[in-house]
């Protein structure tokens, strides 16, 4: 019932608000900033604020559970019909998808747009990051609100402001960085009033975002009571600080010191610790950016034992290896610095296998982009290189090429790991993550016979580097439809700042089903308190 109410509330987008934001945004564009490829005031009528009727003809419609050749008819941002031989009037835009895949738009569960971090701010904001996403076939993302001095409401307000320039749908997770009664009460407000159903706990970044085991325990208990998913950045932050000190003492100050100071064992340890604490509390746990075999094997073990653990690899961990960090050019090496680090060759292949066999469930990007000037803050000391890599534009292509094109994954599983599973975990399915009658018209058309090439010169992110530079592959997103409007076609973007909607995510998603039964079984198993006769003196 609650989910249904949210479903329609999410639809109440305000076109007039969107127009106001568009005008304000265009007035605020700094001189010299090019808007080429984006909508401008007075542009063509396709530019976004009007609704559309679209028929996608003859493609293979792929959902996570099924694929079938069918037509898809869209009106006013919603999928109206999915069946063969749909006939329409002349005013309907018809897209021929014969020989192509028609799939739900990607949902990226892990991004950081316009985030203040390590003394600077990520270079992609809610407009440029989302423009990049749409050009790559992603139609929704979930970003992380960072509280302001531990204040959740202030953080939420700040992120809602940043997101006013959004061009596509988005939702929020929230980080928890300190603990007191106020934080605990504010978590209730976030879930019950603000549409947030997940909280992230950083077990690393000592001195800034890192939390203690005591806080993690409190947080896990609170998440459970609210029906919110607890997420962890799993690295042992104390040991990382020790590893960093060791590298500096050894005179290792370059980007390779980043990888050497936080080896896989520290990720495995923290992952195991978080999993055991979540088991102790009996609440679902979502491990973000699983980068190593060590962490993945802890997740596999826990899942095999029946624990509700979700593992999210990110594209960089699936595709890259750490050899780049040893590159002699600082600008090149530093762009690969992220945490946990990109690992040695072999971890990537193991993570791919875990994804294809269901040990890991969905793919994010951790899109957290800094340009080469920002990365250069750490040219004398790797600890000062802002952590993060790009990926929001590249995720769909790279996962398709590496997993489907290579034969490791079916087309339906591709939809599951890039879209559907995210919608299910965060309780917005089937509004998102499906091509079904009544679902939002967030759709991509992928041509399996066309190829893609990643290049800084042509990407849509604001950054001046790309960790996937030069990569090529098969499978190209030729059309992206967001909120029922064609926003990417013929290599051109038609996106409108202010047209994106905040998607509220209700608590108690499917990972909470049966938790109370497991709690009851636990209590029954205690066989305590024991009734005793009084001790005789």
Nearest to 484 by CA among 22, 44, 50, 17: 50
Nearest of 365, 331, 480, 478 to residue 124 by alpha carbon:
365
Query: How buried is 279 (Cβ within 10 angstroms: 0-12 exposed, 13-18 middle, 19+ buried)?
Result: middle
Contact partner, 387, from ligand URP, Zn ion, none, Cβ < 5-8 Å per class: ligand URP
Per the CB < 8 A criterion, the answer to whether 172 and 145 are in contact is yes
Q: Which is nearer to Zn ion, 366 or 440 (CB)?
A: 366
Site for ligand URP, rule CB under 6 A: 112, 233, 289, 338-339, 366, 368, 387-388
**Which residue's Cβ lies closest to Zn ion?**
233
Could you tell me which of 320, 326, 325 has the C-alpha nearest to residue 391? Answer: 320
Which pair of structure tokens corresponds to residue 501? 């909607």
| Least distance in angstroms from the C-beta of 140 to ligand URP | 19
In the complex, minimum distance from the CB of residue 393 to ligand URP, in angstroms, rounded to a whole number: 17
CB of 162 to ligand URP, least distance (A): 16
Minimum distance of ligand URP from residue 314's CB (angstroms): 8
- DSSP-assigned letter for residue 208: T
Nearer residue to ligand URP within complex by CB, 56 or 113: 113
Q: How far is the CB of 420 from ligand URP (least distance, A)?
A: 23
253-277 core/surface letters (b: 16 or more CB in 10 A; e: else)? bbbbbbbbbbbbebbbbbbbbbbeb
Q: Is 158 or 408 the residue whose CB approaches Zn ion more closely?
A: 158
Judged by beta carbon distances under 5 to 8 A according to partner kind, the member of ligand URP, Zn ion, none in contact with residue 10 is none
Which residue's CB atom is positioned nearest to ligand URP? 387
H-state helical runs in 119-236: 128-135, 152-162, 181-192, 213-226
Q: Record the tokens describing residue 191, joined without a space.
A: 């879930």
Smaller CB separation from Zn ion, 108 or 366 = 366
Q: Which of 248, 205, 231, 226 is nearest to 284 (CA)?
A: 231
Q: How far is CA 177 from CA 162, 387, 476, in A?
A: 20, 18, 40
Kindly state the smallest distance separating residue 365's Cβ from ligand URP, in Å: 10
388 touches, from Zn ion, ligand URP, none (C-beta below 5 to 8 Å by class) = ligand URP
Tokens matching residue 375: 């990365």
- Closer to ligand URP at the Cβ: 387 or 418? 387
Binding site residues, Zn ion, CB under 5 A: 233, 366
Residue 338 touches which member of Zn ion, ligand URP, none, C-beta under 5-8 Å by kind:
ligand URP
Identity of the residue, 165 or 289, whose beta carbon is nearer to ligand URP in the bound complex = 289
Residue 233 or 485 with smaller CB distance to ligand URP: 233
CB of 127 to ligand URP, least distance (A): 20
CB of 110 to ligand URP, least distance (A): 7
Q: Please, what's the b/e burial string for 111-143 (b: 16 or more CB within 10 A of its CB; e: otherwise)?
A: bbbbbebbeebbbbbbbbbbbbbbbbbbbbbbb
Nearer to ligand URP, 289 or 424 (CB): 289
Structure-token pair, residue 413: 């599983």
């Amino acid at each position: 019932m609650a989910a249904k109410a949210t479903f329609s509330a999410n639809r109440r987008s305000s076109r007039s608000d969107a127009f106001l934001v568009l005008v304000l945004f265009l007035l605020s564009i700094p001189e010299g900033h090019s808007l080429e490829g984006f909508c401008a005031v007075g542009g063509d009528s396709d530019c976004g604020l009007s609704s559309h009727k679209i028929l996608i003809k003859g493609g293979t419609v792929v959902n996570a559970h099924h694929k079938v050749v069918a037509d898809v008819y869209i009106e006013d941002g919603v999928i109206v019909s999915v069946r063969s031989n749909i006939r329409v009037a002349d005013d309907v835009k018809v897209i021929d998808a014969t020989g192509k895949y028609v799939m739900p738009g990607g949902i990226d569960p892990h991004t950081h747009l316009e985030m203040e971090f390590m003394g600077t701010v990520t270079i992609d904001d809610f407009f440029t990051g989302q423009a990049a996403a749409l050009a790559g076939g992603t139609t929704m993302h979930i970003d992380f609100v960072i509280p302001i001095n531990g204040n959740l409401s202030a953080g939420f307000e700040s992120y809602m402001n940043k997101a006013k320039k959004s061009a596509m749908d988005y939702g929020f997770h929230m980080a928890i960085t300190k603990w007191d009664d106020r934080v605990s009460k504010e978590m209730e407000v976030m879930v019950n009033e603000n549409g947030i159903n997940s909280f992230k706990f950083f077990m690393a970044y000592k001195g800034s975002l890192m939390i203690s085991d005591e806080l993690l325990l409190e947080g896990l208990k609170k998440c459970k009571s609210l029906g919110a998913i607890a997420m962890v950045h799993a690295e042992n932050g104390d040991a990382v600080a020790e590893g960093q000190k060791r590298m500096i003492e050894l005179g290792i100050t370059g980007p390779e010191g980043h990888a050497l100071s936080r080896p896989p064992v520290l990720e495995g340890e923290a992952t195991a610790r978080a999993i055991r604490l979540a088991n102790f509390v009996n609440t679902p746990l979502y491990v973000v950016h699983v980068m190593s075999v060590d962490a993945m094997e802890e997740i596999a073990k826990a899942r095999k034992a029946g624990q509700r653990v979700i593992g999210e690899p990110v594209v960089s961990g699936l595709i890259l290896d750490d050899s780049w960090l040893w590159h002699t050019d600082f600008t090149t090496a530093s762009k690969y610095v992220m945490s946990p680090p990109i690992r040695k060759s072999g971890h990537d292949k193991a993570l791919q296998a875990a994804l294809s066999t269901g040990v890991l469930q969905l793919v994010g990007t951790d899109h957290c982009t800094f340009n080469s000037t920002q990365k250069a803050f750490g040219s004398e000391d790797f600890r000062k290189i802002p952590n993060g890599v790009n990926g929001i534009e590249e995720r769909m292509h790279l996962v398709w090429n590496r997993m489907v094109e290579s034969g490791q994954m079916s087309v339906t599983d591709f939809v599951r790991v890039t879209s559907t599973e995210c919608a299910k975990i965060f309780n917005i399915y089937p509004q998102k993550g499906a091509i079904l009658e009544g679902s939002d018209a967030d759709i991509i058309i992928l041509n399996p016979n066309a190829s893609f090439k990643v290049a800084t010169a042509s990407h849509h992110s604001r950054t001046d580097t790309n960790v996937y530079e030069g990569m090529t592959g098969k499978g190209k997103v030729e059309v992206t439809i967001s909120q029922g409007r064609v926003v990417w076609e013929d290599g051109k973007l038609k996106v409108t700042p202010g047209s994106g909607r905040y998607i509220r995510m209700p608590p108690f998603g499917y990972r909470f089903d049966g938790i109370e039964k497991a709690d009851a079984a636990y209590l029954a198993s205690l066989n305590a308190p024991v009734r005793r006769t009084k001790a005789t003196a």
